[in-house]
Chains A and B, each alone.
Chain A
């Protein structure tokens, strides 16, 4: 299992903005074009002769796998639900995708939108570093100037949880 550091260094909140833009470009560009291509293949399949139909169906299945890969890549870059539904929903989505059991204690009422994204991505990246089935407890406390994050996780409840803390400075 990858070891988490006891104290984590924060990245700049401009990284969160960049990741958001990259995910949007991925969605609006390659992912959407691939979906359009899958639809076009679907139209061709409807009129195709049986032997061609078989080949086209194979190509369409490959296209669906590519789209799925793009979806997973986008999820790593920036959780889709973060912009519309906030930090809690986004972290629950990441935990679900990763098969992690998540407890959340979030007080982000005084945090800016950038700080929320920054904190969310910070925790999301660590949720991806623990094995499936791990239970993780996340505590986020934010003010206008800084965000304090504590992450406790354990794979075996008979052992002491691994605890990590971070302080993110707001831009």
Chain B
């Protein structure tokens, strides 16, 4: 496999290059930033490009470069490496593509076999995601408000969603094309159906309703 590396850390870059050669791959270029990588793939044939997420152009040059490469050279596999295990990065990677792409932690590919397997899967068209990231999404804490939320009507759910976005009753009314009075009625129904205690101020009950909504939404994700 013909592999290009873009990584601004010299020590890690050299180690990765040796690891790839030990895995039987041909390292066709080693550069320190995204712009250099884009130039490189114009000149030489590359099967898979390995990119550090945090490299020039800062702050997330690896992601920007991956987007550019995918647009211009969709046949090139992309392995994004990072010190960071962030869902936000994963979502961005998934927006770039769901085939011939991977996102792994640097220290987790520090072996001839594991790096070789990762590249082989990407080159075969698969997506390779770091296990800890997938696990974190699965382990999201569950809420206990789903049952009560199911009793809400569609309109009440829409009102609650807008409350969670921080909208006032007036703004909710304008968005849903109903009067403020009607919104207040829906809000009161939400408080009742969610069994929020009546001895609280409206602000407290409003916050509690939104928090219950968030808990349930998180549980469903």
Using a CB–CB cutoff of 8 Å, the interface residues on chain A facing chain B are 27-28, 31-36, 38-43, 45-46, 60, 63-64, 67, 70-71, 74, 80-81, 83-85, 89, 92-93, 96, 99, 101-103, 105, 132-133, 135-137, 139, 152-154, 157-158, 160-161, 163
Contact = CB atoms under 8 A, between A and B. Distances in A.
B44 interface: no
Nearest to A104: B166
A101 B143 contact: yes
B85 A36 contact: no
Given A67-B83, A96-B87, A137 B211 contact: yes
A133 to B, nearest CB: 5
Given A63-B107, A93-B86, A137 B165 contact: no
A35 B211 contact: no
A157 B196 contact: yes
B94 interface: no
Residue of B22, B92, B166, B196 ringed by the most chain A CB atoms within 10 A: B166
Given A35-B110, A93-B88, A137-B211, A28 B9 contact: yes
Contacts of B110: 35, 38-39, 41-42, 60
Report whether over half of chain B's contact residues are helix, strand or loop; otherwise say mixed. helix
A46 B59 CA distance: 34
A157 B149 CA distance: 13
Given A32-B9, A38-B107, A160 B200 contact: yes
Interface of B: 9, 11-12, 14-16, 18-19, 22, 54, 58-60, 63, 83-89, 92, 106-108, 110-112, 115, 136, 139-141, 143, 145, 164-166, 194, 196-197, 200, 204, 207-208, 210-215, 218
B59 A83 contact: yes
For the complex of A and B, list the 10 residue pairs with the smallest distance between their C-beta atoms, beginning with the closest: A105-B166, A39-B15, A36-B11, A135-B211, A38-B110, A84-B60, A42-B110, A83-B59, A42-B111, A35-B106
Contacts of A41: 110
A135 B142 CA distance: 11
Nearest to A136: B211
A135 B211 CA distance: 6
Nearest to A27: B83
Contact of A103 (B14, B111, B112, B214): B214
B11 A139 contact: no
Nearest to B111: A42
